[in-house]
Amino acid sequence: MSVVQAYRFALDLSPAQQRALAAHAGAARMAYNWGLERVKAVLDQRAAERSYGVCEEELTPAIGWSLPALRRSWNAAKDEVAPWWRDYSKEAYNTGLDALARALTNWAASRSGKRCGRRVGFPRFKSRRRSTPSVRFTTGAIRVEPDRQHVVLPRLGRLKLHESARKLARRLEAGTARILSATVRRDGHRWYVSFTCEVERAQRTPARPCATVGVDLGVRHLAVLSTGEPVPNPRQLEAALRKLRRISRGLSRKVAPDRRTRRDASKRWERVRGQLSRVHLRVANLRCDGLHKLTTRLAATYGTIVIEDLNVAGMLRNRRLARRIADAGFAEIRRHLAYKTQWYGSRLMVADRWYPSSKTCSGCGAVRTKLALSERTFTCTPCGLVLDRDVNAARNLAALAATVAGSGPETLNGRGADRKTPLAGLVAVKRLPGTATAGKTGTVPPQGRTSDHALTPAS
């Protein structure tokens, strides 16, 4: 199985190498800002001409913002706008122009309605202070040295790694991996190199290929499995808040940069800001490590994993829970499971966003009208089931996978994913024979409101 996989390593650089990398990242930022200024000037000119009543045929000619078009424009103007362009790799300028082409394409697609999701705004200019230094190399000498402690990049030469690259080197030597590109990026106080590789992975089978597990994500526990196992929430950000507040108070007392008066930041401000970024980086690394361990264990153990399609953007609007929800990383869990299930031969199923997993009784299938967030114990009046709220939701997710596993009428089960919990006009029906809950009675919404597919395979 051929997959695209990234290998990321920390670098140990000399001051001269750090300056060289920062200069390459600055060249990429300069090319990005140059292209954006050129495109924006033409768009503004055409908008002004339209306001004057100029017909479309007489407007200023539009320019293309695809990567080939931006490259041609840059090659024609680079001797004038950047006479020092020979001092850096051509890949630095290509990095900035490629980022601009992607940003403009996303903006145009979002504006025309071709792109789903939140609306994408017009690209903004990159600042030296606020943007993350980054440069990508796609051609030239890109390799891992035989000692596995150094890498070679175009124009930068031999760079020392902070850790061994033996995992990638073994695959390169065996011929099961091929480097496509290398991206150098600074996060916090350290530079990292990430190799994007085409890797041939062996077909694997999970430890329990016939087992199905439902995963209910939450804040009190990071995840609760249908087996009854709670996964504790480490709350890395909350644990570091005291230190972050102390460093932030010290940062506010230092001389910060001011763009209006063109005042530069003091050395103490730069030093304290570095401390603050290192704390945030440690929190992000600890969170990423915990999520990787959880998702790898699930993908390598169970044949089918069922999760919910959570509206994380809407959940973040709750000011009382926004910080804890962001700290949990729900979207990262789904992203990790999406590709790790392919690696380990398991299957990921995503329940519909409107499926009432918490309000449905996992014993008899009855659906409650209301369930407050403060009610941590689910109590079913018809059958008398008393169960933890999260465990009940996880069991419903696991049962839903078995219900819609087949084809045809099995998908029209009594657990339709409605936008509203049915209140009246419900019809008591018998579960279809052959389903996981055959013989039990339940309720479904009136015909015409039931979702055809409450559960769909993750793409």
User: pLDDT, tens digit, for every residue of 347-406?
Assistant: 999 998 888 888 888 888 888 888 888 888 888 888 888 888 899 999 999 988 877 654
Closest alpha carbon to 150 in 137, 168, 174, 173 = 168
Pair 140, 89: CB distance under 8 Å? yes
Residues 273, 300: Cα–Cα separation, whole Å: 40
**Catalytic option among 308, 327, 352, 418:** 308
> Measured between alpha carbons, how far is residue 220 from residues 214, 358, 382 in Å?
17, 15, 28
Pair 301, 208: CB distance under 8 Å? yes
Pair 441, 413: CB distance under 8 Å? no
User: pLDDT, tens digit, for every residue of 286-324?
Assistant: 999 999 999 999 999 999 999 998 888 888 998 888 999
Q: Give the lowest-confidence range in 29-33, 311-315, 429-433.
A: 429-433
**Catalytic option among 91, 98, 187, 216:** 216
The amino acid sitting at 193 is V
**Catalytic option among 91, 187, 327, 390:** 390
Pair 172, 144: CB distance under 8 Å? yes
Q: What is the reported pLDDT for 410?
A: 29
Residue 270 appears among annotated catalytic residues: no
Q: Give the lowest-confidence range in 194-208, 351-365, 443-457.
A: 443-457
DSSP string, 137-185: E-SS--EE-TTSSEEEETTTEEEEESS--HHHHHHHHHTSEEEEEEEEE
Pair 236, 327: CB distance under 8 Å? yes
Q: Give the lowest-confidence range in 23-27, 228-232, 452-456.
A: 452-456
Residue 216 appears among annotated catalytic residues: yes
DSSP string, 106-127: HHHHHHHT-S-SSPPPPP-PPP
Q: Measured between alpha carbons, how far apart are the two ends of the chain, in Å?
A: 17
Pair 221, 232: CB distance under 8 Å? yes
